Amino acid sequence: MTIIKVDGLVKEFRRPRRINGRFGALRTLFTQQHTVTRAVDEISFSLNEGELVGYLGPNGAGKSTTIKMLTGILQPTAGELLVSGIVPWRERPRNALNIGVVFGQRTQLWWDLPLRDSLELIGKLYGVETSRHAANTASFTDLLGLQPFLETPVRQLSLGQRMRGDLAAAMIHEPRILYLDEPTIGLDVVAKARIRAFISELNQQRGTTVILTTHDLDDVEQLCRRILLIDEGRVLYDGDVAALKTRYAPHRRLIVHLAEGANWNGIDVAGVDTEKDVPNTPPGQVVLRFDPDTTSVSRVVGAVLDRHHVSDLSFAEPDLEGVVHRIYSSGDRELP
């Protein structure tokens, strides 16, 4: 079932054209000339209920602007948008009951109140029944490890603690959709693991639809099967993470750990390259690069073992961060 449908979405921002010179600020204030910036440029996509999608792009690509239109904060310049059958900016209160939002740089918690009190107040704002609120608070306290700081004022919480509190607050009314904008920014490894586990639990056990925007591509690799890749306000790629890696990082890497005292003499297999100047490569380690579609893995491994004394062999799969970096740095704007 389609829960979010976006068709030809456009968002433009108009700003007065700045006039320099004498009384420039005053003349700018009354000017009829404007500069138009198109932040979102005819984006189209749809999400089925229960999907967990990574919405990725560099700074200024239009990610946060899209999220703000989905939540009803901004009204599009053109295009159509439906969230659970609702036009978000026309029915903001009704839309708010269906969604939860976490912005990594902002909080919806009350600064001077204990976390528990903030969760209670947010529950009352959404009209959550007392028994349902208590059950959700207990569940989220367990999943996110909130117990040690439930009675602590929000202003005294660490960044990781506050983010966990914001996640609980966003889900206290059990929305069908959760928007996450940089939820793990600046967090340590332990806090990230807690938040990732919570997001996975919501999606798999409760069927919550999740849109995740982040620059931490480890989040995406661990949580998402589908990604939307955008730049300059346009969709570059919409599809499976594995398919993107296959298309833009088709090569595999075989890491050869030579036995002590052994030297590398190369191998006689067409299509296999030895990578040179690989950062942080220790002595006695060699990295081979090849395309498994044209050169079989068994042939490469066999050739290595025939000619060298080896202590260990391992494969390094392409990571999403490297693939995305390659796409943006190449300037490819015509992905399928």
pLDDT digit string (tens) for 76-91? 999 999 999 999 999 9
* 254, 241: one domain: no
Tell me the per-residue pLDDT of 234-252, one tens digit each, with 9 for 90 and over: 888 899 887 887 777 777 8
Range of the domain at 285: 250-317
In a shared domain, residues 273 and 151: no
Residues 74 and 127 in one domain: yes
Residue 127 lies in a domain: yes
Tell whether 326 is covered by a domain. no
Per-position DSSP letters for 247-269, written without gaps between them: HH---EEEEEEEPTT--------
Specify the amino acid at residue 246: T
Q: Tell me: pLDDT of 336 over 50.
A: no
Residue 318 DSSP one-character state: P
189 and 293 co-located in one domain: no
Claim to verify: residue 257 and residue 241 sit in the same structural domain? no
- For residues 9 and 137, membership in a common domain is answered with yes
pLDDT for residue 7 is more than 60: yes
Number of domains within the chain: 2
With 0.85 as the threshold, say if the pTM is over it.
no
Residue 99 domain flag: yes
Are 149 and 116 in contact, with CB atoms under 8 Å apart? no
pLDDT at 253: 82
For the segment 276-334, what is each residue's pLDDT rounded down to a tens digit?
766 667 788 888 888 887 888 889 999 899 888 888 988 877 767 677 777 776 655 55
Burial of 147 (0-12, 13-18, 19+ CB in 10 A): exposed
Residue 176 belongs to a domain? yes
Residue 327 belongs to some domain of the structure: no
For the domain that residue 103 is a member of, what is the CATH number?
A: 3.40.50.300
